[in-house]
Amino acid sequence: MPRLSRWQTQQRESNIELSEQNGVRALHLGSDMVQSAMRLTAPNDLELFYTQCMMGFLLFHPHPENILMIGLGGGSLVKFVYHRMPQIKISVIEISPQVVEIARSHFLLPLNSERLQVLVAEGGDYIAHHPASTDILMVDGFNGSNQVDTLCSQDFYNSACETLNKNGILVINLLSRDKNRDEHMHRIQNSFDGHVITFLTEIRGNQIVFAFKRGLGKIAWEELERRAEELESQLILPFPRFIEGLRKYGAHSNRYLEI
């Protein structure tokens, strides 16, 4: 994740740190890595590129009815979906009540409502008891600079597949420099029968993984580019850059993306 080189202000609450620089407020959990960021003049936008990339699932599932997120952080993805896509119901599982408190007090996370439920629970345990319950499962769970062990086991990825509806997609944020990254990818491939695509947001940075409960077969790049242009105009996110990332880092043909 990107780092802030100079901190102007800092607040400590247990292992939770807040910083602000150039109009951007950032959340740090146990390290100086930025877990979440919010531009004060645009609090509902996605400030970090990796969070923008996680919305790339819309290229393949443009009309989800519900999204389940594991790992709240400052609530950037929650707020974006909540304010920009009012047709979607959102559930968020966060293990730390302190993180939920900080997200509400410092990052403008909305209160629970009919459309939004933020629950304090352990993500792996939750999904193990909620099969076939969501269209999209987004996982962004880190403890300091490392991924939480319970959110990258084979059992977790198996449960993740089971908790998705028949056309569901698992979206995961990994770190390309994680020494266990290859093992994580192997487990994801096993759980999703190889229906997995991935790309780097930057060299030795975040790696975004999309795992599909059912294979989609071949999709023409021209069709994906058309979808990207439509989504970019609707949500003001750089979807064409997501396509470039998929073509650059994936082993795909010149004409098709095969999932």
* CATH code, domain with 158: 3.40.50.150
Mean pLDDT of 50-74: 96
Any domain includes 190: yes
**Closest to 35 in 3D by CA, of 12, 5, 69, 4:** 4
- The predicted pLDDT at position 114 comes to 96
Any domain includes 143: yes
Any domain includes 30: no
Any domain includes 249: no
Percent over 90 (pLDDT), the chain: 75
- The predicted pLDDT at position 14 comes to 58
Split into its structural domains, the chain has a count of: 1
| C-beta separation of 209 from 220 below 8 A | no
Give residue 190's domain range: 43-219
SS3 of residue 5 by DSSP: coil
Any domain includes 119: yes
Model pLDDT for residues 136-195, shown as the tens digit of each residue: 999 998 776 678 889 999 999 999 999 999 999 999 999 877 888 899 999 999 999 999
Any domain includes 27: no
Active site residues: 140
- The predicted pLDDT at position 252 comes to 67
146: Cβ contacts below 8 Å, ≥ 6 apart = 178
Any domain includes 70: yes
- The predicted pLDDT at position 166 comes to 93
Any domain includes 149: yes
Within 10 Å of residue 232's Cβ, how many Cβ atoms?
A: 15
Model pLDDT for residues 10-61, shown as the tens digit of each residue: 444 457 899 999 999 999 887 778 889 999 999 999 999 999 999 999 999 9
Q: How confident is the model at residue 3 (pLDDT cuts 50, 70, 90)?
A: very low
- The predicted pLDDT at position 63 comes to 96
Mean pLDDT of 59-84: 97
Alpha carbons 221 and 255: distance in angstroms, whole number = 6
Q: How confident is the model at residue 8 (pLDDT cuts 50, 70, 90)?
A: very low
